[in-house]
Every structure is written in C-alpha cells, then in structure tokens.
Chain A
Amino acid sequence: MAFSNEEILEGLAEIVAEETGLPTDAVQLGKSFTDDLDIDSLSMMTIVTHAEDKFSVRIPDEEVKNLNTVGDAVTYIAGAQA
C-alpha cells in the first residue's frame, strides 16, 4: 500500500520533530532542511534512516544531497514507492 503525499509529509514532519524538537507544523513542503530547519548532515542522515524505515523505501546517499526541501523529500519518497 502506497502512502499519499499528505501521509508522507505528516510522517516526515513527525520524524523531523523527533530529531530537532521543532513543532511538526514547521515542517512544510517549501522549507529547506539546512537553511530553514537548521538540520546538519548527521541529523539529515538520521532523518533519512527513519524515513526509509517508516515508508519502506531506499534513499541512496547520492540522492540525499538532492533533497534540499521537505517537498523534494516527499516527491522522492512518493516516487520510490513501487
């Protein structure tokens, strides 16, 4: 069963909130992980690890650097669900 984009955003927001302490509603599609959410590379890899687990997808390391915004991540995860 595939997750909808809304479900992916919601799940990702929960993961980011757990990792950073930010409120879930701060995690919006247009937000940059580094510039807006102040997430460093270790935290980003932690978020990726949890997201892979939660959505049963694989996000290769070379893709992670292309995930600038929350929206990029939602789009990638949605497309990676087969």
Chain B
Amino acid sequence: MNAPRDVVVTGIGATTPLGGDAASTWAAALAGESGARPFDNDWAEQYGIPVTFGATIKVKPEEVLARPEIKRMDPSTQYAIIATREAWADAGTPEVDGERLGAVVSSGIGGIWTTLEGWDTLRERGARRMLPMTVPMLMPNSPAAYVSLEIGAQAGAHALVSACASGAEAIGYGIEMIRSGRADVVVAGGTEATIHPMPIAAFAASRTLSLRNDDPQGASRPYDVDRDGFVIGEGAAVVVLESAEHAAARGARVYARLAGVGLSADAYHITSPDPEGKGQQSAMRRALEMAGATAADVVHINAHATSTKVGDLTETNSIRTLLGDEADHVLLSATKSMTGHLLGGAGALETVFTVKAVHERLAPPTINVANPDPELHVPLVRDVPAALPAGDVVAINNSFGFGGHNVALAVTNA
C-alpha cells in the first residue's frame, strides 16, 4: 500500500448568520460581531415557544439562487450549494476527472422543513397535493447528492450523520478519501436549516437553548459564568480538499493542511458527554498522531463550546488533561459566541475558521465573556483576535455531537 497522501485546503465557502460568504463571515468573526437576532415570526404567540431569537442566515438563499433551485432543494441543500459554488470558485474551479472528485456534505437533522411542510400538506390538503420532489428534498443525503451534481463528483457522494459533529466528520471523511487515494479533490462540509418551530420547540423542551430573549446578541456566552444554553443557528460551510500533489501540479493557492482526523464515541450517554472526557481526548490524540504532532505543537483550538456549562467545561478539562502544561500556550476560541450553533454546519464552519486562523495567524475572538468561568483552565481569546506564533504550528477544531460523537481535526500551516 502506498503511503497516505498529504491533504491541503484550496478553497473555502460559507453562508452563515454572519455573512453570505466566507470572507464576510470571517471578517465579522474577527470584528467580534454576533449573528443572533430576534425571530421575525409569531411562534411564541402561536405555539408558546419560549425562545424568540436565533442566529438566522444573513443572506437569504432567495437572493442568490434561481427560483427553480429554491423550489427543488430543501433550505439545508440551498445553503450547501451556495457555499459549494463559492468554495469551488475560490479554489480556481479545478480541472479534475469526475472519477477522482468526491462530495461529502452532512446535515445533522436533514431536510426537516420539507418533511414538516409535506406533513402539513398531507393533513390539510390530502395525498394528491403532495409534491413529487418531497423525498429527494428531505433525504439527509440530499445536500451531498446535489453537491455531487453541481461539480460532477463521481468518486463518491457521502453524508455522514453525527448530530453536531456532522460537518467535521464530513471533512474528516473527505480527508480519508484523499489520503487513501480514492480521490484527488473532495468538496466537504456541513449544513443545517432547522429554524422551524418544531425543532426549536424540541430543543427548548430538552432545556438546552438559551432563554435570554431580551439580549439575543449577548445570549451565546461560552465560558461565561452566566451562560444558560446555546443559540440555534443555521447555514453551511464547505472546504475544497485536495491532495498536496494535485494542488501543487496546478499551482493552486493553499490555505493550510488538514493533517489529522481523530474520531471516537463516548458510549456513555445519549446527550451528556462523558464527564471524564476520555472520548474527547482520544479524538484529539488521534488527530495529533495522524498529523505527526505533539502537545507542544498545538497553538490554537477552536472549541466546540456551545455555551452550556457541562459541555464547555468537559471540553476544556479534556484539553488540559491531554495537553498538560502545554495547554498554557493554547489560544482557545469559542466562535459559537458569534455564530450561534449551526448544528450539522458547525464543525464545517469552525474548520473554515481554523484554516483561516492558521493561514492568517490570527485566532478569532470569543465574545460575551464578562465573567470567565473560574474552572476554565485554558487561555481564552476574548473580544479581539489574538496573533498565533510564526513557524510550524498545529491547530485543532473540536466538534462533538449528541450521541457521544467526537471529531477532532488537526490543521497545520501549508
């Protein structure tokens, strides 16, 4: 068997609560802006939903896509297609044999708008009014399938589902496709469009959402003592992954390397993380091993940090346990403080942030931390970006999902 191949990032794309593309999203993140805003609906009055805000998409797909595309794609697929078009152009529209091109795009929840609107149609108007595109729109592989159609990816189209780790797991799978030689180029990422009253009510029922209705922009506050839950977000992010040889042969601009993937499962509880964080540590350890890196090399971590007390502290305790004293020089960023939680899109967006951080040597800030949790034992980047050191560096993006899924991606400089 041939040695595993190096994987680099040559394109990025996103549509998020902070901006309609990756550049505006990154600029807003560096500026410490919040993407949270009051909902423009009457769900509180109509259904008694206790949360009246979220991090809704900044640029509506209707402003970007053709009308027939809007009608035949669930919003989760629409976001993924917008991000893919940007990333593909950003990568210079690579010339690549379709048989060597892959698409891996995940959603945590799938086409829930289509699912629930189909149910509404059935109940209110009967089976004869059900639209024929309902199944291909609601299936959770729809974003991956449409992305494969968009770019002509024939090496494989995959949708790995692991709740809030889905976007990172998709990128991890894309890395494996290239490392193993199955593909030369892979478009990989995650998407989510669940700002619909049913999932909001369901998340509220699980008592995981912030109820800070009077201050939407201050609601997502990972590592602040007064955090009270996550802020639901929506959007998509994708990266163009490429074998280092392929990128070099076509003279592509390289942002960074995706040098390691670490996966694990807690097998502890369906929603709560293992308090000892063994699975989280395994994921980070495996990512560093694949990258050939040690604890001393790690300069930056984009934390999963959703703004829940148990989740936030379990992660930093895992980081401290794994890295030991080396955690003292890690710059920790919790970007969900600005973006809200994109669920299946989160791991992909935070990979884009981590890639940009390594490329520009700038760790994005964490906002809304008025009183840092005294149990936070890792240096936190607060309010303004922090410079990363020159030379060879390693950054980690952590993503964890309901179900005990742990994904760590190791990013190194090009």
Contact = CB atoms under 8 A, between A and B. Distances in A.
A52 B129 CA distance: 9
A21 B66 contact: yes
Nearest to A41: B132
A28 to B, nearest CB: 19
A52 B133 contact: no
Interface in A23-82: 42, 45-46, 49, 52-53, 58
B67 A18 contact: yes
A47 B68 CA distance: 12
A19 interface: yes
A58 B132 CA distance: 16
B128 A18 contact: no
Contacts, number: 24
A46 B133 contact: yes
A21 B71 CA distance: 10
B89 interface: no
Given A49-B128, A52-B128, A21 B67 contact: yes
B267 interface: no
Interface residues on B, range: 10 to 19
A5 interface: no
Contact of A49 (B66, B129, B136): B129
B131 A46 contact: yes
Give the size range of A's interface with the partner.
10 to 19
Contacts of B71: 18-19
A30 B136 CA distance: 31
Interface in B96-136: 128-133, 136
B68 A42 contact: no
A46 to B, nearest CB: 5
Contacts of B68: 18-21
B182 to A, nearest CB: 30
A52 to B, nearest CB: 7
B132 A42 contact: yes
A77 to B, nearest CB: 15
Contact of B131 (A20, A21, A49, A58): A49
Contacts of B131: 46, 49
A18 B68 CA distance: 6
B132 A45 contact: yes
Among the interface residues A42, A52, A53, which one has the most CB atoms of the partner chain B within 10 A?
A: A42
Nearest to B130: A49
A43 to B, nearest CB: 8
B77 to A, nearest CB: 15
A45 B129 CA distance: 11
Contacts of B132: 42, 45-46, 49
Tell which of B67, B130, B132, B136 has the most Cβ of chain A within 10 Å: B132
Contacts of B67: 18, 21
A42 B71 CA distance: 13
B22 to A, nearest CB: 27
Contacts of A19: 68, 71
Nearest to B69: A21
A31 B26 CA distance: 48
A62 to B, nearest CB: 15
Contacts of B128: 49, 52, 58
Interface string A9-24: 0000000001111000
A51 to B, nearest CB: 12
Contacts of A52: 128
15 contacts: A18-B67, A18-B68, A18-B71, A19-B68, A19-B71, A21-B66, A21-B67, A21-B68, A45-B132, A46-B132, A49-B128, A49-B130, A49-B131, A52-B128, A58-B128
Interface of A: 18-21, 42, 45-46, 49, 52-53, 58
Given A19-B68, A42-B133, A46-B132, 20 more contacts: A18-B67, A18-B68, A18-B71, A19-B71, A20-B68, A21-B66, A21-B67, A21-B68, A42-B132, A42-B136, A45-B132, A46-B133, A49-B128, A49-B129, A49-B130, A49-B131, A49-B132, A52-B128, A53-B129, A58-B128
